[in-house]
Amino acid sequence: MIHRIQRLRHRLNEKGLDGILITQQENRRYLSGFDGSAGYLIISARKAVLATDFRYTEQALGQASCCEILRIANNLTDWFPALLDEMGIRKLGFEASDVSYHFYQQLVDALKRKGLEVEMVATSGLVEAMRAVKEAEEIEFIRKAAAIADGAYMEAAGLIRPGLTEKEIAWALEKATRERGSETLPFEIIVASGARSALPHAKPSDKVVEEGEPVVIDMGARYRGYACDMTRTVCAGRPDETFMKVYTTVLKAQEAAINTIRAGMMGKEADGIARGLIEQAGYGEAFGHSLGHGVGLAEHELPRLSFSSEELLQEGMVFTVEPGIYISGWGGVRIEDTVVLKDGRAEPLTRAEKLRL
Ligand code: ZN
Ligand code: ZN
């Protein structure tokens, strides 16, 4: 992934850093291709070194062809100062949102023990900002994940009927998702029925789905590391009047947002499209989360589509559009698709059928 490392080097240069220590798992994978769960990536103007222990060295050699692989043991003092010295790094960026206070102390301590003067500089979002704009291949991986999730949903949703528990439905969805080729699920599937569907992130329970209740299903799939994220709300049996009104409002808000979002908008403008319609229908207070979030190697990443986000939506970004209305004691409705900004407009990648009333 040398082109990505190259782009990061430009940013390091702008920030006056000699190098950066990448510890965040998805960032490490994005830059190096290595998908193991332990390792440190150290990048300077001329070198990229992936330091990992013996469990992963062989895998790293196979996956991270743009990096030198350094086999390390647990003790930072044994390799970290010597490596920085050899790479000529005196001003090192680190990922502030990923490095714990404890680990930071260990890094500083290792340098001190070897008497190496290195300035540690907190950075934030450098690689995350790069990851927000997807390359063609990444979009294809997400498209594939979306096709898996669509197929699994269509297969399992047909089985939903009163009398099944949320857990039974979740298992049918999970099984279908894995059978269709998904890697480990990007997040635990949400199946929430009746009053429980007013909890946006309810875990599937032993509750039995009753006639006429809303059932919120939030699921995803993962392909070559890339996730998709999708929510459908269905009604087991005949919907009541509240369901008709709430569902129609959410669907209208979601479709309006997808049709109106353009490259160059700020996250908050996109959010405002759906929020405005939900407020007009009298449910403003009941839409308590943001419109969407980026999706990629992580199921939640940049950009943010919230009421306050000034992040610019750019061509190639992949994110969700997921308005919802949640009414305590009754239930909730959320409809979510993963979309890509292509030719300036939002193209849905998840396409599973939506309930039409
Ligand atoms: Zn979701
Ligand atoms: Zn989501």
pLDDT tens digits, 66-94: 999 999 998 999 999 999 999 999 999 99
**Separation between Cα atoms, residue 245 and residue 240, nearest integer Å:** 9
Residue at token pair 């965040």: 24
- Both tokens of residue 295? 């999706």
Residue range of the domain that includes 88: 2-130
Same domain, 183 and 226: yes
Distance 203 CA to ligand 1 centre (A): 13
Token pair of 239 as six digits: 């919907």
Single out the residue in 130, 146, 180 at which a domain terminates: 130
Check residue 318 and give left, alpha or beta (phi > 0: left; psi -120 to 50: alpha). beta
The residue out of 82, 107, 130 marking a domain boundary is 130
d(CA 220, ligand 1 centre) in Å: 7
Domain with residue 247: its CATH number is 3.90.230.10
Same domain, 181 and 317: yes
Domain assignment present for 122: yes
Are 78 and 216 found together in one domain?
no
Residue 353 within a domain:
no
Which letter, b or e, does each residue of 259-282 get, where b requires 16 or more Cβ atoms within 10 Å of its Cβ?
Answer: eebebebbbbbbbbbbbebbeebe
What is the model's pLDDT at position 1?
87
Side chain identity at 109, as an amino acid letter?
D
DSSP state of 262: B
pLDDT value of residue 332 = 97
The answer as to whether 357 is a domain residue is no
Q: How confident is the model at residue 210 (pLDDT cuts 50, 70, 90)?
A: very high
Mean pLDDT for all residues in the chain: 97
> CA-to-CA distance for 111 and 89, rounded, in angstroms?
12
pLDDT value, residue 36? 95
Where among 130, 162, 188 does a domain terminate? 130
Question: Do 94 and 168 fall within a single domain?
Answer: no
Q: Is residue 32 part of a domain?
A: yes
Band of residue 158 on the pLDDT scale cut at 50, 70, 90: confident
Ligand 1 centroid vs 6 CA: distance in angstroms? Answer: 33
* Structural domains counted in the chain: 2
Considering the domain architecture, whether residues 70 and 142 belong to the same structural domain is answered as no
Q: Which ligand is closest in space to the CA of residue 185?
A: 1
Structural domain includes residue 355: no
Is 289 within the bounds of a domain?
yes
Q: Are residues 224 and 334 in the same domain?
A: yes
pTM: 0.96
Distance 231 CA to ligand 1 centre (A): 5
pLDDT of 236 over the 90 cut = no
User: What pLDDT does residue 277 have?
Assistant: 98
159 has pLDDT over 90: no
Residues 163 and 110 in one domain: no
How remote is the CA of residue 142 from the centroid of ligand 2, in Å?
14
The 10s digit of each residue's pLDDT in 292-345 is 999 999 999 999 999 999 999 999 999 999 999 999 999 999 999 999 999 999
* Interval between CA 70 and ligand 1 midpoint (Å): 38
Q: HSE (CB half, 13 Å, CA atoms) of 96?
A: 7
pLDDT of 263-285, one tens digit each? 999 999 999 999 999 999 999 99
Q: How far is CA 10 from CA 23, 67, 323, in A?
A: 19, 18, 37
Q: Identify which ligand lies nearest to the alpha carbon of 187.
A: 1
- For residue 187, is it within any domain? yes
CA 207 to chain centre: 29
CA distances from 166 to 193, 203, 217, 247, 357 (A): 7, 9, 10, 20, 23
Would you state the pLDDT for residue 102?
97
pLDDT average, residue stretch 221-229: 98
Q: For 28-45, how does the pLDDT look when each residue is reduced to its tens digit (9 = 90+)?
A: 999 999 999 999 999 999
Q: Is 240 exposed, middle or buried (0-12, 13-18, 19+ CB in 10 A)?
A: middle
Distance CA 324, CA 346 (A): 19
| Inside any domain, residue 356 | no
Strand 213-219's sheet: what is its strand order? 190-193, 213-219, 230-236
Sheet with 119-123, edge to edge strand ranges = 68-71, 48-52, 40-44, 19-22, 91-95, 119-123
Which ligand approaches the C-alpha of residue 189 most closely?
Answer: 1
**Whole-number Å distance between alpha carbons of 56 and 51:** 10
For residue 339 the two structure tokens come to: 């979309």
Instruction: Answer yes or no: do 204 and 56 share one domain.
Output: no
The predicted structure's pLDDT at residue 88: 97
Q: What is the CATH number of the domain that holds 110?
A: 3.40.350.10
**159 and 99 inside one domain:** no
- For the chain, percent of residues with pLDDT exceeding 90: 97
pLDDT of residue 25: 97
Of the chain, the percentage scoring pLDDT greater than 70 comes to 100
How many Å lie between the centroid of ligand 2 and the Cα of residue 207? 23
- Please tell me the distance between residue 32's alpha carbon and the centre of ligand 2 in angstroms: 27
Structure tokens at 216: 């919120």
Distance (Å) from CA 322 to ligand 2 centroid = 7
- 81, 217: one domain: no
- CA of residue 320 to ligand 2 center, whole Å: 6
Question: How many Å lie between the centroid of ligand 1 and the Cα of residue 149?
Answer: 12
Question: Does 305 share its domain with 192?
Answer: yes
Max alpha carbon distance in the chain (Å)? 73
CB of 132 closer than 8 Å to CB of 303:
yes
> pLDDT band at residue 206, thresholds of 50, 70 and 90?
very high
User: In this structure, what token pair is assigned to residue 309?
Assistant: 């986000």
Shared domain check, 168 and 75? no
